[in-house]
Amino acid sequence: MKTIDTLLAELGGDLSGQRVLVRSDLNVPLDAPAAAAASSGPVITDDGRVRASVPTIERLVGAGARVLVVAHLGRPKGVPDPAYTLKPVAERLGELLGTPVLFAGDTVGDEASRIASALQDGQVAVLENVRFNAGETSKDDAERGAFADQLAALADVFVSDGFGVVHRKQASVYDVATRLPAVVGGLVQAEVEVLERLTETPQRPYVVVLGGSKVSDKLGVIDHLIDRADSLLIGGGMVFTFLKAQGHPVGTSLLEEDQVEVAKGYIDRAAAKGVELVLPTDIVVAPEFSADAPATTVSAQAIPEDQMGLDIGPESAQRFAEVIRAARTVFWNGPMGVFEYEAFAAGTKVVAQALTEVAKNGQGLSVVGGGDSAAAVRTLGFDDDAFGHISTGGGASLEYLEGKTLPGLSILEGDHT
């Protein structure tokens, strides 16, 4: 795979005069987008992904490139939607870069073309949300291709640096890489290097911690990792499908009834393979899903029928922490409970704390796999540096660990132009 180093070597270390289209991942969480849009615009609640995009952009700017950033925000429906404008994100990027960033109010329209052709060496512009264009996510190759043609027309070179989207076959991730000389950016390169360590040569014990709301999102990764990990710890909303599979009552907790048999299959397979599958022994429950619902701790085998499980209990959290602390490699995806509410954040906090101890002595590798887990550790006040690696892509890292081919990476492997 060609990198920015390759590009610099080919061009004698100087990118001046080159218009470089960078696919970044600026998909930050927003505070109530619809309501905020009505007043002063969306508010960024965690700028981790913007920060993670900065080094590649800085590197290109430092080499004199004219940088055009293309990215998405949220899930608009293929048409402009002010609730999902990238304008405030472009402003944040400018603050982090310490230099004004231009903003085009369209992605491939007149404004984008005008800005792209007027850009000076070392200047940065952000294009409006790429998902305001139906071609970006279209399943129709021709429609996606036509949009990719328009994107490619804005630039001379493409840098793929949006790790959170490399598992998507989308115009600004995949098709544009067949239309311009394309290289991988520093962020994607770093993410892939860490994931390679997890898949190829994990130091043992290798512990995988999974949580979050849905089992069905994590089936592929459980399936794949049962053959590779030494211990699999399961918490979060998905745990109730496993508890049900063991024959325990789960009250009104999240439950994916249609996955109970699958969960049973995993419990059996883990036992047959000698993989330690650790489920919680106690659960924090409440009568309803709300911040101030009265919380109590019950046995994981006896959740009352009118209560829902919203966090793993203290005994389970300690057990999880022990297994994690004894590991040399840990991958964690998905919070252990509804960490957004103080009363149900303790399990996630204890697990996060244990992960920091794996990385602390420099001996172990702890990887926080994107999305909600990354937001959770920051919300709970942990420093990014306390972890070996915080991935910017939850879905992408899970698909990589499932052993899937990621379109945005495989397309960079050949020379398509």
Cα separation, 398 vs 27, in Å, equals 18
Nearest distance, CB of residue 285 and ligand AMP, angstroms: 9
Is 49 in the active site? Answer: yes
Residues composing the chain? 417
379 binds ligand AMP (CB under 6 A): no
Is 105 in the active site? Answer: no
Give the residue, chosen from 48, 212, 251, 369, that forms a contact with ligand AMP under the rule CB under 6 A: 212
217 binds ligand AMP (CB under 6 A): yes
Cα separation, 95 vs 72, in Å, equals 19
The pattern of x and - marking residues 338 through 367 that bind ligand AMP according to CB under 6 A reads x-x---------------------------
Is 220 in the active site? Answer: no
Taking the least distance from each CB to ligand AMP, the nearer of 185 and 235 is 235
213 binds ligand AMP (CB under 6 A): yes
Could you tell me the end-to-end alpha-carbon distance of the chain, in angstroms, rounded to an integer? Answer: 14
Which member of 334, 364, 394, 395 is catalytic? 395
Give the residue, chosen from 162, 181, 236, 408, that forms a contact with ligand AMP under the rule CB under 6 A: 236
- The residue written with tokens 């330690």 in the block is 276
Beta strands in 102-162 (DSSP E): 102-104, 124-127, 157-160
Taking the least distance from each CB to ligand AMP, the nearer of 200 and 257 is 257
Cα separation, 297 vs 311, in Å, equals 9
CA dist 271 → 231, 248, 301, 332 (Å): 11, 18, 19, 21
With CB atoms as reference, the residue minimizing the distance to ligand AMP is: 212
Give the residue, chosen from 169, 214, 264, 328, that forms a contact with ligand AMP under the rule CB under 6 A: 214
CA dist 29 → 89, 179, 180, 293, 344 (Å): 11, 31, 31, 25, 21
| Strands 308-312, 102-104: pairing kind | unpaired
Give the footprint of ligand AMP on residues 43-62 (CB under 6 A): none
393 binds ligand AMP (CB under 6 A): no
Q: Would you call 166 exposed, middle or buried from its count of C-beta atoms within 10 A (0-12, 13-18, 19+)?
A: buried
Nearest distance, CB of residue 330 and ligand AMP, angstroms: 17
Give the footprint of ligand AMP on residues 311-340 (CB under 6 A): 334-335, 337-338, 340
310 binds ligand AMP (CB under 6 A): yes
Per-residue DSSP letters for 277-312? Answer: EE--SEEEEESSSSTTSPPEEEETT---TT-EEEEE
254 binds ligand AMP (CB under 6 A): yes
# binding residues, ligand AMP (CB under 6 A): 17
Give the residue, chosen from 309, 364, 393, 395, that forms a contact with ligand AMP under the rule CB under 6 A: 309
Q: Maximum distance among all alpha carbons in the chain?
A: 69
Is 371 in the active site? Answer: yes
Which member of 371, 388, 393, 394 is catalytic? 371
Please, where are the H alpha helices in 21-86?
A: 33-38, 48-62
Q: By the 8 A CB rule, do 77 and 137 touch?
A: no
| Strands 102-104, 124-127: pairing kind | parallel
Judged by the rule CB under 6 A, the positions of this chain that interact with ligand AMP are 211-214, 217, 236-237, 254, 309-310, 334-335, 337-338, 340, 371-372
Instruction: Show which residues are catalytic.
Output: 49, 214, 371, 395
